[in-house]
Structure 1
Amino acid sequence: MRISRRTLATAVAVAALLPLSACGSGNDDSSSGNASGKIEGDITFQTWNLRANFKPYFEGVIADFEQKYPGTHVKWVDQPAEGYADKLSAEAAGGTLPDVVNVSPDLAAPLAKAGLALDLDKDKAAAKYKSEYLPGAWSSTDIPGLPGTWAFPWYLNTGPLFYNKALFKEAGLNPDQPPKTYADLFKDGLQISKKTDGKVATLANVPAIEDFGRYGVQLMNKEGTGFAFNDAKGVELLTKYKELYDAKALDPQALTATPESAGRKFLTGAVAMNPGSALDLKNFKTQAPTLYKNIGITDQITSTGHVNMYVQNLMVNAQSKQKPAAVAFAHFVTDAKNQMAFAKKVAIFPSTAGSLNDPYFTKEDGTDETRVRVAAAKSLKTAVNYTPVLFSDQMKTALQQEVAKALQGKQSPKQALDNAVKACDQLLKQG
């Protein structure tokens, strides 16, 4: 169950391994760097599809930074969402990587391995800021076998599970008692399909790597040298999804669905449940008023007690000629004040310690929007980024393809996950 990429708040990066020409040693002296010294000079700041909606905000942040540190100048470059990973790869290979770069953990990993990401733990100027961030956010770029922190945490996101109360009621289920466990989810899903003669599915996406994580599956071995989601628990989850698929409780188009297409299915009433965020409520209100009147909101289903979170980061280029200014700016953008201001412009959450205790994230006013925001903020304090930082876009595709074969009955769930792990391990070695 994945959150849509339709908005900034729910954007999740697409990973890509750097070409061999960009590879280097993550232990290169440049990665530890030294950002101590006078904060001055020109730096370039690169974001990911943010200018269109947030130009005044970022121009204001840059102006405030330049005023605080006379003698600095920040050039802001915003790249489109499409092909962003390829753009980073090209910049890394060509030696044109900006001083401060917007990345997700899976995009930071290959840059760190190539010696292009500043290790914040080793840099005295950066390491002093560690206590300002949530521990889980600071460690979001942890890479197995490569100790260090490779980017400042920026904004976080998570969201609830929405469900259509009218569809639950039509299927003979209590609309005020949505599934709280996976067992409930599978049971209710089969009942909804049976009562509607297969016309209404419960879910519209096949399980992705974060779903295996939420189910309690061990995703990688302890050494971080290989994947392990083909264990008995992983097979159990995929087997349950196969039962849903056979009973038409999993939408037939789930094999090729995107979060966007799944969202459209939910809007039309073809699917009973779908993950989302507070921003989706506005879409429901304007695009599907009937759905909005019947919308139910419940927590993410998890066997671990920890919901999934998505993370965005700001990485400092280890080869920057103006490291003091680059570190200072990355921290400035991600400090509590600026993150809080950003969170009030769009439905995202700060990664800074204590920010989620602000009344904005703890006080409800009777609206569904604040109900979602307060619940999400509370869950983020112990949330986990289940997607391994080494799990690339190619690996995601390999898993999706093998899962599809299992659901279609072309191979057993066990064989599908064995094949997926084998393919992902091979890709891991290539990286």
Structure 2
Amino acid sequence: MPISRRATAAAAVAALVLPLGACGSSDDGGGSTDASGKVEGDVTFQTWNLRANFKPYFEGVIAEFEKQYPGTRVKWIDQPAEGYADKISADAAGGTLPDVVNVSPDLVAPLAQAGLALDLDKAAVKYRKEYLEGAWAGHRIPGMTGTYAFPWYLNTGPLFYNKSLFEEAGLDPDQPPRTYDELFADALRMAKESDGEVATLANVPTIEDFGRYGVPLMNKEGTAFTFNDPKGVELLTKYKELYDAKALDPQALTATPESSGKKFLTEAVAMNPGSALDLGNFKKQAPNLYRDIGITDQITSTGHVNMYVMGVMVNARTKRTPAAVAFAHYVTDAERQMSFAKQVAIFPSTAGSLDDPYFTEQDGTDETRVRVAAAKSLKNAVNYTPVLFSEQMKTELRNEVAKALQGKESPQEALDNAVRACDRLLAQQG
């Protein structure tokens, strides 16, 4: 997939795949959950828009695997980002799903529900301890037991903050907020001290924010959303206070990552998520900001930041289960993940890898400053976005949040409406 966070909805997959659930258990199509046999035969491996930039890397991985396991042959297929969900759904419906597939959690969910994703807690549990706990849990599906993809690469982003703006507001520039309570207090003070000229945030709360605040997002059965509980209402009420005080930028209701970044660049906003690329941009376009830049973890009241996780799924109906599981594990093992992470700005999901000097030692470059900060936070990070939370649901939540901030609905009414809309969309998926 693209290295940046994909925006493809999984609705297309669900629409065609879920009816296949009536086909029965995962081995009805001739596959087997037994991965203990001899690793041999031909397997197909599908990635998501990676060939253009990483062809030599993947060809090398495949050649090494085939050398380690004589008698195997891996056919690599790379699909473009555009229409990837549609391609998976068509292959699933037509019985042509590759043996090993690059997926995100929301794409694997309907495949698992239809019995097309191999349960690795049964077929590959011996590998579980090789991965970070939060990463392994990233491909579990509410209402189901099991794990349905090997965790592959991770991503997250630290927060940048403007030390000068913190100091001008009488706040300690070396002690940025780490919890939501600290954030709200600092933001209100900054708005007051600047007479509403400087907002601390430029974005409305997303589902990840509710998760980081400690709001239960969904019931255990995976049948209903729950972010309209008292804690969820509390968070949105706090954001309403920020909005009214201009501690949340007035344009946050329509903000994009680009517009939020511009606000931070012009020092109209004190905090913003970002990457090493942003640091380079600050250095060129806003040298004063660059000199005052601080880097801190994402705001969280749970002690766990948010991670984005990509996975590698094994087709439950593959005729080559031992080879498919072995290859999926091979692609995602510590050695291969470290090698990949040194080619592109992602992070390995394997236990212990984030302790490598590459992720812990500074060398004075902007890229390393951000990499070290992000890697430190990932060790116990969580993928807060529910795997069943679609792009349509994100839109419903955003629209209702906007109504609450504008005073058109109470926070409780807004979240009740959002939950109803999301539950309706959830029922349509099933």
TM-score, normalised via structure 1 length: 0.90
Does the aligned pair in 2 maintain the 1:137–1:311 contact within 8 Å?
yes
Which residue of structure 2 aligns with residue 79 of structure 1?
79
Identity of aligned residues (%): 76
Which is worse superposed, 331-340 or 241-250?
241-250
Q: Deviations over 1:398-418 (max 9, x none)?
A: 111111111122111100000
Native 8 Å contact 1:277 1:347 kept in 2: no
**8 Å CA contact retained: 2:151, 2:349:** yes
- Counterpart-to-counterpart distance in 2, 1:143 and 1:134: 18
Give the match for residue 28 of structure 1: 25
Asked if the contact 2:26–2:118 (Cα under 8 Å) also holds between the matched residues in 1, the reply is no
Report deviation, 1:170: 3.9
| Deviation of 1:299 (Å) | 1.9
Shift of 1:419: 0.7
**Residue in structure 2 matched with residue 385 of structure 1 by the alignment:** 383
CA offset at residue 367 of structure 1? Answer: 4.7
2:234 aligned with 1:240: no
Determine the structure 1 residue equivalent to 2:96. 96
Partner of 2:295: 297
Counterpart of 2:362, as a letter, is: E
Any idea what SS the aligned residue of 1:314 has?
Answer: strand
- CA separation in 1, counterparts of 2:151 and 2:100? 13
Letter in 1 for 2:21: S
Partner letter of residue 78 of structure 2?
D
Relative to 1, partners in 2 of residues 1:413 and 1:32: Cα closer, same or farther, differing over 3 Å? farther
Q: Which sections of structure 1, spanning at least 5 residues, go unmatched?
A: none
Looking at structure 2, the residues matched to 278 and 190 of structure 1 have their Cα atoms a distance apart, in angstroms, of 29
Structure 2 Cα separation of the partners of residues 191 and 78 of structure 1:
51
Does 2:295 align with 1:316? no
Cα distance, 1:371 vs structure 2: 4.0
Return the letter of the residue paired with 1:28: S
Aligned amino acid, residue 116 of structure 2? L
What are the within-5 Å matches in structure 2 for residues 198-347 of structure 1?
Answer: 198-347=196-345
**Cα distance, 1:366 vs. partner?**
4.8
Residue equivalent to 2:43: 43
Cα-to-partner distance string for 1:145-174 (whole Å, 9 max, x where unaligned): 211110001111223211122333344433
Aligned length: 423
Q: With the length of structure 2 as denominator, give the TM-score of the two structures.
A: 0.90
SS in 1 for 2:348: coil
Deviations 1:246-269 (A, max 9, x none): 233222332233334423332333
CA apart distance, 1:429: 2.2
Give the corresponding residue for 1:62. 62
- Greater alpha carbon shift after TM alignment, 285-294 vs 420-429: 285-294
Decide whether aligned partners of structure 1 residues 51 and 418 sit closer, same or farther in structure 2, where only a CA change above 3 A counts. Answer: same
Distance 1:192 1:90, change over 3 A: farther
Q: Deviations over 1:254-302 (max 9, x none)?
A: 2233334423332333322112344543443345433322211112221
CA distance in 2, matches of 1:94, 1:429: 24
AA aligned to 2:88 is L
Unaligned runs of 5+ in 2: none
Supply the distance in 1 between the matched residues of 2:229 and 2:170 (Cα, whole angstroms).
35
